[in-house]
Amino acid sequence: MDTSPTAPAGVPSPIAAASTPAIALAGLGKKFRLTHDRNWTLKATLLAGHRTRYEEFWALRDVSFEIPHGSTFGIIGGNGSGK
């Protein structure tokens, strides 16, 4: 007689859940467009047209990580603030 607990249909067994991460992310990135010579008035904007120059700034590039089940995860910025 088998007395082991069974999971309802569609629910992974605890053994399978322990072998796979709760969260798995790969290749993430965050890019910002930094403006240069920004026009601060409506008149300056209309006279300049769409000639605003931009620079790409990658805050994160190609970040990958896994978080196991039952663990605590936090992101801390350079100045110690939580994200």
**What distance in Å separates the CA atoms of residue 76 and residue 34, rounded to the nearest whole number?**
23
Q: What is the pLDDT of residue 11?
A: 67
For the stretch 24-79, pLDDT in tens is 999 999 999 988 777 678 887 777 766 667 899 998 899 999 999 999 988 887 88
Neighbour-count burial for 6-43, b at 16+ CB within 10 Å, e otherwise: eeeeeeeeeeeeeeeeeeeeeeeeeeeeeeeeeeeeee
The letter for the amino acid at 48 is A
Which residues span the domain enclosing 56?
A: 33-61
Which residues are CB-contacts of 27 (< 8 A; sequence separation ≥ 6)?
62, 63, 64
Number of domains in the chain: 1
Contact criterion met (CB below 8 Å) for 26 and 49: no
